[in-house]
Amino acid sequence: MNSHRLWDIFCTVIDNHGDLGVCWRLTRQLLAQGQSVRLWVDDASALTWMAPDAHAQPHLQVLPWVDASQSVVLKSLMPADVWVEAFGCTLPEAFVAHGVATHPQQPAWINLEYLSAEDWVPRMHNMPSPVMSGPAKGWTKRFFYPGFTADTGGLLRETDLLERQQRFDRAAWRQKHAPSLAPGSLLISLFCYEPAALPQLLAQLVGTPHHLLVTPGRPLAAVQQALAGMPVHPNWSALPYTTQNGFDEMLWACDLNFVRGEDSLVRALWAGQAFIWHIYPQDDNAHHAKLEAFLEWMQAPESLRRAHRVWNGMDASEWPVLNSGALADWTACVQAARQRSIAQDDLVAQLRSLVM
């Protein structure tokens, strides 16, 4: 596992907190394990707050996607050992043609797929995919599916994650970011899209001991819109954009986390606190089955399943009341799932084993 490899990771940004977030976490972990990475991305603007020191990292180049089609750039590249297509993006044909012409042998070509707990994932994980046309005809890609069970590609997890959590001063973080929070009050983080149940949640919090931390971008805009129609507001404050470590610490500090997409779901799991996942919505409602499969893997109690369904617009009933009993059940469920996941090999360890 100490062998050095040069990795080309390609990312097209649909949701820069998700697509780029996953690719940056993968990049960070490869760098920490002595690897070299070229990260090709069509919009790297989110790295200015997600990873402000990215361009100063040794053994890393962050390159514009368009440069992968420029002959003058391609001629200057050292051949990589690994190509990673993140989330079904397609490598530029000029890049592939250059690789075919210059690589002494085919690099390990990985199609890094979306995370899912659905039962077909283990069957598809690690499957070869022959390239049938184009300059790389005759080469082979390999599907790599992250997942929650031992027969999948695992989850992104830093080797020092548990150590960082043990060093974390939760009380100091809460005092800094919610100084008016009374003992026994709930600290809640909100990172979401635009859930229909958001006004119900905000209304329910009014008059209860709590503080709501709202992340920037779409969550803040959704809260501001919902509050415009409310005569009395809950206790809340807006957070600035932060680094990935800063985001992790927010999840560790809170009693309940609302998260969205793929990257923050995994981070909420590692945090070990109760959470509600706002899954990325798809036009054909394919995300409904994906959410149900995750809740089944979680062995979620019925109250947690119902809350997820309401939050994700799958159930039109009222948002459930947040009480201490339900939150205790949710937290216990998350912590049990966390322990099952920690016992498995992490994604980078499995990926490196595959390409060695």
As annotated, the active-site residues are 19, 262
Say how many residues make up the chain. 356
The residue to which tokens 């947690």 are assigned = 304
Rounded to 5 degrees, what angle do the CA atoms 325, 329, 334 make? 145
Q: What are phi and psi of 64, to 5 degrees?
A: -65, 140
**Sheet arrangement for strand 236-238:** 236-238, 210-214, 186-190, 256-260, 274-278
According to DSSP, the β-strands at 274-278 and 186-190 are unpaired
E-assigned strands of the chain? 6-11, 36-41, 60-64, 82-86, 108-112, 128-130, 140-144, 186-190, 210-214, 236-238, 256-260, 274-278
Please, which contacts does 215-222 make with residues 24 or more away whose CB atoms are closer than 8 Å? Answer: 215/189, 215/190, 215/191, 215/239, 216/240, 216/241, 217/17, 217/241, 218/192, 218/193, 218/194, 219/190, 219/191, 219/192, 222/192, 222/193, 222/194, 222/195, 222/198
